[in-house]
């Protein structure tokens, strides 16, 4: 059998499945987004209305820009904090010492947990009357006693971000550990002999060499952050008001609560476009030196 | 950690210090660092384990104690009996999740091995483009995929079925599996395959007898990752099921009642969702970093 025919034979099932489960629905979504499709009025798709669903979002829907702001805030906080925690953990874990194996083992736990479960647990933990987090915070900071976390926009956002950081930091910690371990130790050693402080060695020698891995991690985490859905449903339901409603959750609400499928498809497509730009930059970085 | 306190030395910021003084200063700083490091590690361990420990404790608390801030209580299995009772019937959700997750793994893994081998070893047109497009599909938001599927499954009367869940879950895990396994096949020396080919083995023989055993850790890693992702999946289950095919994580929602959430049952169900995944994650722990980085960073 020729290589081409064999490749076709091996690839066809997987490619067909990927095409059917992602590319096909993506095209249908795009098509839907140019139509008037409201499930409360009719079970069938309405007439072609061009880009009206998109102008609705950008021009007329006051919620849309609010949601975009929430999304940007969430992504920036989430990605920034996850990277800081993951990098700190990675540096810590790569140092020799007592308890590192144990720490590495338990770090798997948050990652293996369902985000929906983490979301609902956080809501429990932050209950001011009997929640483990809320009562502990209240004991340390008395002014935080009896605070309703999910009624306050900043605290609700903080709760959502913290749950996602808790879930994802281990994954990115392991990824950055791989990156740190592949840096030749001679460079750091040389800088140390020249009298550089530990912080200078890290900032001027280690960090620049870690940059390719770090960039990949940041883009990947941004994509994951834009995808967050489960924890929003089980923890904040997007509230208070729209304060924790990210674009993905907004599209869900428009589609599956208000049954405006056309508009929801347009919103989902705006999200897809943002992710696409991020993904392409990811590809460029990840494949820069690939064979 | 092993050095003893050194009395009588003073930190000296002038540069006139002798080498001996500098050595002492370094040791002191190191001791301070070690103490600091230990403190940080304790904080991290507490932050990781506290929410999990709280959930475990809640699952064994009787309803009266759940609403108290305490770790001292008489453990009971009542909550577990309760969730398996006819009223909540979490056993059905466990069955649903198992059927969907196992089917997804059984379908995705062999397909991914075949595709990964082609991408790793064979030459064909548009190879790089195809590979990048497969990876790109990982980044499509689920909301954009679920809408057309909802309409399609409703038309075909497939809402609330295992079939619907298996299909949509495959969309998420298959590209990931191809990506991971390809990384592991890339790392196998090609000489082993060539030797067998010279001996007259066909391609499929080579794949089955040489590539699969050598890439086994990678295949296992990919399979277990797929299992964890599908098992924990929430969005598709939330939107595409009503009562028959509801998966476990979506089952959590049923404890959110109008009069409030029944937290002890949430916690008990949470433990059932989590324990098998902890177990599987431990199995692949060694390959955890490797599997992720091979595809992501090269």
* pLDDT at residue A115, as a whole number: 92
In a domain, B211, yes or no: yes
**Radius of gyration of the CA atoms of chain A, in A:** 23
B200 three-state secondary structure = coil
Tokens standing for residue A234: 């089980």
- Is A279–B168 a contact, with Cβ atoms under 8 angstroms apart? no
Domain containing B137 equals: 80-296
Q: Which residue of B has its CA nearest to A91?
A: B37
Query: Closest partner residue to A271 among B117, B144, B168, by Cβ?
Result: B144
pLDDT (0 to 100) of residue B57: 86
Segment A233-266, tens digit of pLDDT: 999 988 788 999 999 999 999 988 888 888 899 9
Confirm whether B254 is domain-assigned.
yes
Q: How far apart are CA B228 and CA B281, in angstroms?
A: 8
Q: Which residues of B touch A11 (CB under 8 A)?
A: 114-115, 118-119, 130
Instruction: For residue A261, give the nearest of B49, B135, B147 by CB distance.
Output: B147
- Residue whose C-alpha is closest to residue A228's, from A246, A251, A215, A253: A246
Name the helix (H) or strand (E) containing A42. Answer: none
- Say if residue B26 is in the same domain as residue B147: no
| Chain B residues in contact with A107 (beta carbon < 8 A) | 48
Tens-place pLDDT, residues A73-90? 999 999 999 999 999 999
B238 occurs within a structural domain: yes
Size of interface A-B (CB pairs under 8 A): 271
Retrieve residue B282's tokens: 């431990």
Residues 36-75 of A with CB under 8 A from B: none
Chain B nearest-CA distance from A285, in A, is: 9
Strand partners, B260: B257
Q: Which two tokens stand for residue A169?
A: 């930091």
Task: Look at residue B84 in the predicted model and tell me its pLDDT.
Answer: 85
How distant is the alpha carbon of residue B85 from its chain centre?
29
pLDDT of residue B15: 57
pLDDT at res. B3: 46
Query: Does residue B128 share a domain with residue B28?
Result: no
Same-domain check for residues B92 and B168: yes
Answer yes or no: do B174 and A17 touch at CB < 8 A.
yes
pLDDT of residue B52: 92
Tell me, yes or no, whether B27 and B140 share the same domain. Answer: no
Q: What per-residue confidence (pLDDT) applies to A83?
A: 95
Task: Please report the ipTM that was assigned to this predicted complex.
Answer: 0.85
DSSP state at residue B253: G
Q: What is the DSSP letter of B4?
A: P
> What's the whole-number average pLDDT of chain A?
87
B123-162 burial code (b ≥16 CB/10 A, e <16): ebeeeeebbbbbbbbbbbbbbbbbbbbbbbbeeeebbebb
| Of residues A287 and A224, more confidently modeled | A224
Asked if A94 has any chain B CB less than 8 Å from its own CB, the reply is: no
**Which 8-state DSSP code applies to residue B32?**
H
CA distance A15 to B142: 19
Residue B66 lies in a domain: no
- Both B51 and B105 in a single domain? no
pLDDT at B9: 47
Do B162 and B239 have their domain in common?
yes
- Token digits of residue A280: 């392409």
Q: Residue A188: CB partners within 8 Å, gap ≥ 6? A: A201, A205, A206
Burial A204-214 (b: 16+ CB within 10 A, else e): ebbeebbebbb
CATH number of the structural domain spanning residue B230: 1.10.3720.10
Return the residue in B148, B265, B278 with the most chain A beta carbons within 10 A, the one to mutate for interface testing: B148
**8-state DSSP, B207:** I
Across the interface, of A18, A114, A174, the residue whose CB is closest to B175 is A18
From B126's Cα to the closest Cα of chain A, the distance in A is: 11
Nearest to B144 among A98, A109, A268 (CB): A268
Inter-chain touch A14–B297, beta carbons under 8 Å:
no
Q: Same domain, yes or no, for B54 and B98?
A: no
Provide the pLDDT for residue B4.
47
A251 touches chain B (CB under 8 A): yes
Looking at residue A291, what is its pLDDT? 40
Q: How many domains does chain B have?
A: 2
User: Residue B75 is inside which H or E element, if any?
Assistant: none
pLDDT tens for A103-117 read 888 888 898 899 999
Running along chain B, 298 residues long, what does each successive block of 10 average in pLDDT?
Answer: 46 63 83 84 91 88 79 80 84 92 94 92 86 83 88 89 92 87 86 83 83 88 90 91 90 83 87 91 72 41
User: Could you tell me if B248 and B116 lie in one domain?
Assistant: yes
Cα A252 to chain centroid distance, Å, stands at 17
Binary contact (B292, A18; C-beta < 8 A): no
Out of A129, A226, A264, closest to residue B147 by CB = A264
Of the residues A230, A231, A258, A288, the best mutation for testing chain B's interface (the one with the most B CB atoms within 10 Å of its CB) is A230
% of chain A beyond a pLDDT of 70: 98
Q: Is residue B126 part of a domain?
A: yes
Considering the domain architecture, whether residues B50 and B85 belong to the same structural domain is answered as no
Residues B98 and B200 grouped into a single domain: yes
CA distance A110 to chain B (A): 7
Residue B65 lies inside a defined structural domain of this protein: no
Q: Please tell me the distance in Å from B86's CA to the nearest CA on chain A.
A: 22
- State the DSSP H helix or E strand holding residue B165, giving kind and residue range, or none if neither: helix B162-186
B37:A97 CB<8 A:
yes
Query: How close does chain A come to B136, measured CA to CA in Å?
Result: 7
Residue with tokens 């009996």: B81
Which of B46, B51, B185, B206 would best serve as a mutation to test chain A binding (most A beta carbons within 10 A)?
A: B51
Give tens-digit pLDDT for A195-223.
Answer: 888 888 888 888 888 888 888 888 888 88
In a domain, B72, yes or no: no
B233 SS3 class: coil
pLDDT digits (tens, 9 = 90+) for B53-84: 988 888 888 887 877 777 777 788 888 888 88
In this predicted structure, what is the pLDDT of residue A288? 66
Sign of CA pseudo-dihedral A72, A74, A76, A77: positive
Please identify which residue in the block is written with the tokens 């079925």. Answer: B161
DSSP string over A106-171: HHHHHHHS-HHHHHHHHHHHT-TTT-HHHHHHHHHSGGGTT--GGGSHHHHHHHHHHHHHHHHHHH
Which domains does chain A show, CATH number per domain?
47-286 (1.10.3720.10)
To the nearest 10°, report the CA torsion of B187, B191, B195, B197: 60
Shared domain check, B223 and B118: yes
Position B31 in a domain: yes
**Exposed e or buried b for every residue in B197-215, given b needs 16+ CB within 10 A?**
eeeebebeebbeebbbebb
Among residues 190-219 of chain A, which lie with CB inside 8 Å of chain B?
A: 212-213, 216
User: What backbone phi and psi angles, to 5 degrees, belong to B124?
Assistant: -160, 160
Higher pLDDT, A50 or B108: B108
Q: Which of B111, B132, B273 has its CB closest to that of A114?
A: B273
B34 and B172 part of one domain: no
**Would the CB atoms of A179 and B151 count as touching at under 8 Å?**
no
CA proximity to A204, closest of A225, A223, A219, A190: A190
């Amino acid at each position: 059998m020729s290589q081409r025919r064999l490749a076709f034979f091996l690839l066809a099932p997987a490619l067909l499945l990927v095409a059917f489960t992602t590319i096909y629905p993506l095209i249908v979504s795009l098509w839907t987004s140019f139509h008037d499709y409201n499930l409360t009025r009719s079970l069938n798709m309405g007439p072609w209305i061009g880009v009206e669903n998109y102008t609705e979002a950008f021009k007329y829907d006051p919620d849309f820009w609010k949601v975009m702001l929430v999304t940007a805030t969430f992504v920036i906080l989430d990605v920034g904090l996850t990277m800081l925690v993951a990098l700190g953990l990675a540096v810590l874990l790569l140092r020799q010492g007592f308890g590192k194996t144990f720490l590495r083992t338990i770090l798997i736990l948050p990652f293996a947990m369902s985000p929906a479960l983490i979301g609902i647990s956080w809501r429990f933990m932050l209950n001011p009357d009997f929640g483990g987090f809320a009562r502990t915070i209240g004991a340390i900071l008395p002014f935080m006693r009896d605070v309703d976390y999910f009624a306050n926009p900043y605290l609700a956002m903080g709760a959502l971000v913290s749950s996602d950081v808790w879930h994802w930091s281990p994954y990115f910690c392991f990824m950055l550990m791989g990156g740190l371990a592949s840096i030749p130790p001679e460079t750091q050693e040389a800088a140390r002999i020249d009298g550089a402080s530990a912080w200078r060695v890290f900032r001027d020698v280690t960090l620049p060499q870690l940059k390719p891995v770090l960039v990949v991690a940041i883009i990947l985490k941004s994509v994951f952050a834009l995808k967050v859905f489960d924890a929003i449903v089980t923890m904040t339901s997007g509230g208070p008001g729209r304060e924790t409603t990210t674009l993905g959750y907004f599209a869900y609400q428009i589609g599956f609560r208000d049954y405006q499928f056309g508009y929801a498809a347009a919103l989902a497509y705006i999200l897809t476009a943002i992710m696409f730009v991020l993904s392409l930059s990811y590809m460029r970085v990840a494949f820069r030196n690939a064979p | 950690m092993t050095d003893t306190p050194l009395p009588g030395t003073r930190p000296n910021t002038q540069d006139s210090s002798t080498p001996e003084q500098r050595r002492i200063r370094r040791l002191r700083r190191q001791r301070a660092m070690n103490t600091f490091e230990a403190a940080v590690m304790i904080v991290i361990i507490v932050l990781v384990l506290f929410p999990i420990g709280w959930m475990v404790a809640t699952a064994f608390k009787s309803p009266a104690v759940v609403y108290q801030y305490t770790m001292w209580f008489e453990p009971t299995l009542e909550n577990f009996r309760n969730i398996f009772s006819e009223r909540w019937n979490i056993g059905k959700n466990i069955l649903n999740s198992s059927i969907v997750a196992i089917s997804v793994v059984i379908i995705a893994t062999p397909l991914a091995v075949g595709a990964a081998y082609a991408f790793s070893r064979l030459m064909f047109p548009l190879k790089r483009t195809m590979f990048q497009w497969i990876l790109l599909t990982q980044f499509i938001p689920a909301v954009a995929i679920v809408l057309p599927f909802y309409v399609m499954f409703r038309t075909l009367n497939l809402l609330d079925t295992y079939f619907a869940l298996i299909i949509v879950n495959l969309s998420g895990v298959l590209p990931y599996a191809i990506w991971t396994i390809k990384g592991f096949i890339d790392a196998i020396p090609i000489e082993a395959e060539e030797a067998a080919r010279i001996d007259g083995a066909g391609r499929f023989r080579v794949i089955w007898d040489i590539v699969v055993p050598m890439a086994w850790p990678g295949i296992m890693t990919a399979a277990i990752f797929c299992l964890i992702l599908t098992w924990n999946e929430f969005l598709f289950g939330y939107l595409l099921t009503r009562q028959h095919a509801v998966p476990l994580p979506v089952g959590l929602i049923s404890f959110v009642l109008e009069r409030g959430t029944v937290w002890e049952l949430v916690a008990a169900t949470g433990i059932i969702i989590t324990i098998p995944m902890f177990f599987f994650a431990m199995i692949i722990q060694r390959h955890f970093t490797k599997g992720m980085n091979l595809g992501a960073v090269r």
